[in-house]
Structure 1
Amino acid sequence: MSAEARVFEEFARAALPSYGIDPGAVVTLLNVSENGTFRIDDPVQGRSVIRVHRTNYHSRQAVRGELDWISALRADDVVKTPAYLPDLTGESVVISRNDAGDERFVVRFDWVEGSEPTEDRLQQDFIQLGAITARLHGHAKRWQRPPEFSRFIWDYDTSIGEHGHWGPWQDGLAVDAEALDVLTRCSDRVKQRLDRYGKDPDRFGLVHADMRLANLLVNGDDVTVIDFDDCGLSWFMYDLGSSLSFIEHEPYVPELVESWVTGYRSVTDLSAQDEAELPTFIMLRRLLLVAWIGSHIETETAQSMGAEYTSTSCRLAEEYLSRKF
């Protein structure tokens, strides 16, 4: 276990008494990415999940906003997603403190059985993913958000612009002079396209923002959507870009996009202009992930991507710049 994972585990264990969980419960690391996620096996309460947040990322009110949307999606039976479990006082977002007095936000979720979809059924799963995304978007357009609702905005400026949530993509791994040139031209073209596309309410609203297959749990015919931690305000079509995270360069991506569009249109309309702009959202996400890898190099995912992710991004950028819209 990495040093970072051990820190996350320290806060996870410190939070157990807030939920009435036996201090001797088994705590098993599931994932370290933006947060640390752990499976908790308690002899009395059974199995659940605890998510420990990074510092200086989401505010407590923003985390509550995520949970508000999850609760609304469950209440309106839009998609299957795990319920959050409040602490003994009814608080949804616990403040966990370690022995040094440091604090982290912690959220507990119900355990849901299932596994990530396998690669041998990607096209079929992307049809379902498109349909799920369309249902989320429909709900986001109808839902009356609470007055105190607060979430990140994922537009150009806060994604790959001057105020990027994950830092500047220019600080990504192996962004040398040649890469800087092509990726800058690509970023400028993305901004130009997005400015033209606009932020009308039918195009820009509340999105999951991390709709990768890794955030789906399949159990028989049941599909559960997890990890709304990045949900925020962005273009609805950005969810397609996030669905292709880390695989944007694969030769089968056009088939996956076609499957996603088919699934989306099985639920609601998708205009020809929306479909035509999908490559822009794929590149927006790709550049954002170059930034994420550079600012999260301590994670296993970033290390596995390495400098090759940047070099491949340059090839994709050249292809995008040569595209005729």
Structure 2
Amino acid sequence: MTSVTHAWQSAAEAVVAEWGIDATQAGIDVVFVSESENFVFRVRDDDGRQYVLRLHRPGYHNRSELDAEHIWIQVLAEAGLKVPCAHRTSDDSGYAIAKGPDGSRFAGLYDWEEGQILSEVLASDNSQLAHWYEQIGTTAARMHLTAMAFKPDDTFVRHAFDAEGTMGDQPFWGRFWDDSRHTSEDSEYLNDLRNHIHRRLKTLPTSSDTYGMIHADMHANNVLTTNDEIMVIDFDDAGFGWYQFDLAVALPAHDSPHHGIAADALIRGYQSVRSMGPQFFESIPLFQLIRSMNHIGWFLARYDLPQKHLRSMVNGIRERVVSVIPDFDV
């Protein structure tokens, strides 16, 4: 049994019993790994097998939405994609309830995958950057082809990164323009820009060849490298959206010195699996801008952002709008 290192340590040790793992036994470890949307622990059973235990952030997804996440991961696995393997509890449930010091959280258990996070690989050696982003492109294309063939029933419930989910009155990641920490000028600017983009998104097609289930968070922190291959992890944000949104999120920031190389490689990899005309990729900068705007809402809901930092984020968006949406009249 592991000594307590996190406020939810005892809860994590207790809930793994739902998968037949007795954390009180010698040789079994439950070790805190990280905290972002979820609390993440590494679990080792008495046979030496390792797992990832995720304690999900309360209120982010309900049980039906979490079940849909497992369904989507299984669909991708059946299509031959490398994805995390979820384990069902002893009573054949996808999740258990962990009870901790400040409430309860849904708990899910997955195989622990050895490897190195792509962002760490590139931080130490970016000589193979094009290679990795080409692989992300091929993986994204395979996911999108799978999404095109996916026909969920009415019980499959996930959020959407559509016009309403990104630029509507109640975006999935929060009202990024509506916060007292903004200056009145910045708040008005973001709201006007939001409405402009919302109108544009409403004109985009949502047929299955351009819109469907996406990962929505396929950046380098959520890509695991093993030898010469990649595995996309963390499907917490997976939902319905335009496929170009996936590609936009996968790329480095637009002002990164590696953006051009990464974009060329990503598109090359995508095209090798799913041949698309150049117009398909022309909206990637728009979706990068949308992601940046949504990210403000994400940060505002989770951190006490200094106004200086917040203004810097808004100013970055202002600079991008000039080239991405030249017809936007402020």
TM normalised by structure 2 equals: 0.86
Deviations 1:64-83 (A, max 9, x none): 11111111221221x11121
2:43 partner SS: strand
What letter corresponds to residue 66 of structure 1 in structure 2?
E
| 8 Å contact from structure 1 (residues 153, 234) kept in 2 | yes
Partner in structure 1 of residue 296 of structure 2: 290
Take 1:272 and 1:158, find their aligned partners in 2: how far apart are those partners?
26
Partner in structure 1 of residue 255 of structure 2: 249
Q: After the TM superposition, which residues 8-47 of structure 1 pair with which residues of structure 2 at under 5 Å, given as runs?
A: 8-24=8-24, 25-44=28-47, 46-47=49-50
Deviation at 1:33, TM superposition (A): 1.8
Closer, same or farther: CA 82–281 of 1 in aligned 2, 3 Å: same
Partner in structure 2 of residue 97 of structure 1: 99
Deviation at 1:244, TM superposition (A): 3.3
Q: Which of 307, 316, 323 in structure 1 is aligned with 2:320?
A: 316
Take 1:127 and 1:225, find their aligned partners in 2: how far apart are those partners?
14
Deviation at 1:173, TM superposition (A): 9.2
| 8 Å contact from structure 2 (residues 166, 294) kept in 1 | yes
What letter corresponds to residue 320 of structure 2 in structure 1?
L
Q: Does 1:55 align with 2:58?
A: yes
Take 2:20 and 2:309, find their aligned partners in 1: how far apart are those partners?
41
1:108 partner SS: strand
Percent identity over the alignment is: 26
1:262 partner SS: helix
| 8 Å contact from structure 1 (residues 137, 207) kept in 2 | yes
Deviations 1:122-144 (A, max 9, x none): 33211111110000000111123
Deviation at 1:92, TM superposition (A): 1.0
Deviation at 1:20, TM superposition (A): 1.9
Q: After the TM superposition, which residues 258-269 of structure 1 pair with which residues of structure 2 at under 5 Å, given as runs?
A: 258-269=264-275
- More off after superposition, 32-41 vs 164-173: 164-173
Partner in structure 2 of residue 108 of structure 1: 109
Q: Which of 84, 88, 113 in structure 2 is aligned with 1:82?
A: 84
Closer, same or farther: CA 278–108 of 1 in aligned 2, 3 Å: same
Take 1:306 and 1:250, find their aligned partners in 2: how far apart are those partners?
19
Closer, same or farther: CA 169–244 of 1 in aligned 2, 3 Å: farther
Deviations 1:283-312 (A, max 9, x none): 1111111111111217xxx89x94343432
Q: Does 1:202 align with 2:204?
A: no
Deviations 1:23-54 (A, max 9, x none): 24433333222212221123335211011111
Deviations 1:239-274 (A, max 9, x none): 0122137x3432432332222111110101223322
Closer, same or farther: CA 9–285 of 1 in aligned 2, 3 Å: farther
| 8 Å contact from structure 1 (residues 173, 293) kept in 2 | no
Unaligned runs of 5+ in 1: none
Q: Which has the higher contact order (CA 8 A, sep 6+)?
A: 1
1:293 partner SS: helix
Take 1:309 and 1:242, find their aligned partners in 2: how far apart are those partners?
17
TM normalised by structure 1 equals: 0.87
Partner in structure 2 of residue 70 of structure 1: 73
Q: Which of 222, 225, 249 in structure 2 is aligned with 1:218?
A: 225
Aligned-residue RMSD, C-alpha: 2.6
Take 1:262 and 1:32, find their aligned partners in 2: how far apart are those partners?
34
Take 1:259 and 1:179, find their aligned partners in 2: how far apart are those partners?
35
Closer, same or farther: CA 108–62 of 1 in aligned 2, 3 Å: same
| 8 Å contact from structure 2 (residues 116, 225) kept in 1 | yes
- More off after superposition, 197-206 vs 59-68: 197-206
2:321 partner SS: helix
Partner in structure 2 of residue 144 of structure 1: 151
Closer, same or farther: CA 8–287 of 1 in aligned 2, 3 Å: farther
- More off after superposition, 114-123 vs 51-60: 114-123
Indicate the structure (1 or 2) with the bigger Cα radius of gyration. Answer: 2
